[in-house]
């Protein structure tokens, strides 16, 4: 435990499906049955039991941020509950060095009848702050939430966004040694989310250790240098976030490999070069998108199309070999074509997906398509919001002498 802030060693967690005996009436027959039946082998599963986690081991160094990714039901939340001591492992050990705080359900401690002000004190106490600490940070919490006007309104009158914002604001000011974050950064509007990320970065740079669970892979790739991929309760891989996300996102390719009976198929879509397999790129940088197509029977008159869609699957860009000036492409039986497009990522910060298609040159009929072939993240500057990065600069910003324009309006426009 010398340099590890947090360590899981050989952790197993067993759960039961369905109801256990919930009333005393059910308990009596259940206990009697148990007495007369041989107990299951140690570590084995009794009827209706299953392993939510199996042999999970990892550690997180002081000041490090670890991301945990995996599909629904992989066991991510169970790990967090074990780390935060809400549950105890069936086998194995969880060790935490220092004060731990969890941003799991940010407004769980709220009481609807109490006002915002009262709830700040209540929730703060539940999260482990002393009254004096809350008093000291009260103004910062309120300022962060942006709910100054509604402090004396019962929170049951709050909108769900306000509710979550207040919750996050309290939780974000706990200042723990180890912070556990579960999918809470998706609260509030765009502006508030940005604030949350900034706050997370602040927590990280203050030297705290962070364990971060999210389906928002961009957030994971921005915040965490190292990640862990979970699948059905087991650790598949642990390592640099880039590699982990590649493995995670690449699992769709395995499923595709099954349907290998097509006459012409897109067999690979990759970013960068074999030597550089990043998944996150700075805005405005150049990146190569390579599409590999294999034919089983001869094909000609083809073109290859790539498209980029944003996280909501809304298309933001597409291009094809034909429009870029290449003639009809042809492939003989058994031949493979690799076609690399170089694009400049004039995209704002966000998550983007690459779609690839093989079309007939003239009719645009699709031979094969691969949607969501690969995913990448663009790390942007805070100066730009939206999808496109039009690479702005402040060309001019000055007051005019004209008395016709009221001064206040001019200043507000400049400040904006």
Partner 1 sequence: MSELLGGIIGRRDLLRALAWREIRVKYKQSVMGMLWAILMPAVIVFAGVLVRYGFALVSGSPLRLGDVMSVSVRAVPWAFFVSSIRFGMTSLVGNSTLVTKIYFPREILPLAAVVSQFVDFAIAGALLTIVLAVARVGVSEQLLWVPVLVVLLVLMTAGVALVLAAGSLFFRDVKYLVEVILTFAIFFTPVFYEASMFGRWSSLLMVNPITPLLEGFANVIVRHTPPPAALGYSAAMALLAFFGGLHVFQRVEPYFAESV
Binding of residue 130 to partner 1 (CB under 8 A): yes
Ramachandran angles phi, psi of 338, nearest 5°: -115, 130
Euclidean distance between CA atoms 299 and 285, whole angstroms = 35
Of the residues 121, 138, 197, 317, which one makes contact with partner 1 according to CB under 8 A? 121
* H or E element at residue 67: strand 65-69
Binding of residue 86 to partner 1 (CB under 8 A): yes
Of the residues 40, 73, 99, 113, which one makes contact with partner 1 according to CB under 8 A? 113
Of the residues 10, 73, 98, 128, which one makes contact with partner 1 according to CB under 8 A? 128
Q: With contacts defined by CB under 8 A, how many residues of the chain interact with partner 1?
A: 34
Binding of residue 127 to partner 1 (CB under 8 A): yes
Binding of residue 108 to partner 1 (CB under 8 A): yes
> Long-range contacts made by residues 317-324, C-beta under 8 angstroms, separation at least 24?
317/343, 318/355, 319/343, 320/357, 320/359, 322/359, 322/361
Least distance in Å: CB of 14 to partner 1? 10
Pick the piece of the chain touching partner 1 (CB under 8 A) from 15-23, 269-277, 348-356, 390-398. 15-23
Euclidean distance between CA atoms 27 and 48, whole angstroms = 17
Binding of residue 93 to partner 1 (CB under 8 A): no
- Torsion sign over Cα 136, 137, 142, 144: positive
Of the residues 30, 46, 126, 362, which one makes contact with partner 1 according to CB under 8 A? 126
Between 27 and 191, CB nearer to partner 1:
27
Q: At what angle do helices 131-145 and 116-126 cross, to 10 degrees?
A: 130
Tell me if 82 sits within 8 A of 89, measured CB to CB.
Answer: yes
86: left (phi over 0), alpha (psi -120 to 50) or beta: alpha
Of the residues 34, 48, 99, 111, which one makes contact with partner 1 according to CB under 8 A? 111
Residue whose token pair is 């600490």: 133
Beta strands in 272-360 (DSSP E): 280-282, 286-295, 299-310, 315-320, 329-331, 336-344, 350-360
Pick the piece of the chain touching partner 1 (CB under 8 A) from 14-22, 56-64, 249-257, 372-380. 14-22
* H or E element at residue 59: strand 49-61
Least distance in Å: CB of 157 to partner 1? 13
Least distance in Å: CB of 105 to partner 1? 4
Binding of residue 156 to partner 1 (CB under 8 A): no
Between 90 and 194, CB nearer to partner 1:
90
Which positions touch partner 1 (CB under 8 A)? 15, 20-25, 27, 81, 84-88, 100, 102, 104-105, 108-109, 111, 113-114, 118, 121-122, 125-131, 154
């Amino acid at each position: 435990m010398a340099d590890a802030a947090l360590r899981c060693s050989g952790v197993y967690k067993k759960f039961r499906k369905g109801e256990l005996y919930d009333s005393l009436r059910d308990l009596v027959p259940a206990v009697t049955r148990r007495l007369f039946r041989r107990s299951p082998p140690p570590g084995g599963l009794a009827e209706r039991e299953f392993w939510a986690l199996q042999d999970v081991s990892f550690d997180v160094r002081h000041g490090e941020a670890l991301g945990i990714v995996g599909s629904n039901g992989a066991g991510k939340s169970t790990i967090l509950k074990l780390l935060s001591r809400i549950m105890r492992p069936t086998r194995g050990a969880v060790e935490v060095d220092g004060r731990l705080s969890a941003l799991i359900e940010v407004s769980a401690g709220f009481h609807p009848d109490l006002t915002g002000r009262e709830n700040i004190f209540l929730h703060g106490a539940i999260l482990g702050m002393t009254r004096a600490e809350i008093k000291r940070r009260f103004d910062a919490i309120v300022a962060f939430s942006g709910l100054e006007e509604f402090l004396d309104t019962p929170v049951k009158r709050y909108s769900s966004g306000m509710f979550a914002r207040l919750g996050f604001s309290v939780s974000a000011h706990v200042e723990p040694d180890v912070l556990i974050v579960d999918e809470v950064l998706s609260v509030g509007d765009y502006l508030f989310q940005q604030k949350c990320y900034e706050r997370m970065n602040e927590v990280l740079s203050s030297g705290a250790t962070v364990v971060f669970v999210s389906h928002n892979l961009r957030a994971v790739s921005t915040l965490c240098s190292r990640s862990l991929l979970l699948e059905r309760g087991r650790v598949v891989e642990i390592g640099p976030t880039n590699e982990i996300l590649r493995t995670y996102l690449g699992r769709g390719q395995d499923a595709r490999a099954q349907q290998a009976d097509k006459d012409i198929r897109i067999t690979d879509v990759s970013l960068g070069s074999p030597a550089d397999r990043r998944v996150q790129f700075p805005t405005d940088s150049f990146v190569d998108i390579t599409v590999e197509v294999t034919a089983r029977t001869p094909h000609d008159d083809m073109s290859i199309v790539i498209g980029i869609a944003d996280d909501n699957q809304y298309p933001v860009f597409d291009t094809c070999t034909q429009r870029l000036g290449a003639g009809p492409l042809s492939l003989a039986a058994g031949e493979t074509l690799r076609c690399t497009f170089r694009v400049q990522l004039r995209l704002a910060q966000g998550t983007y997906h690459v779609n690839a298609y093989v079309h007939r040159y003239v009719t645009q009929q699709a031979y094969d398509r691969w949607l969501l072939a690969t995913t990448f993240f663009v790390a942007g500057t805070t100066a730009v919001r939206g999808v496109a990065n039009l690479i702005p600069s402040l060309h001019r910003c000055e007051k005019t002498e004209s008395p016709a324009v009221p001064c206040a309006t001019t200043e507000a426009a400049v400040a904006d």
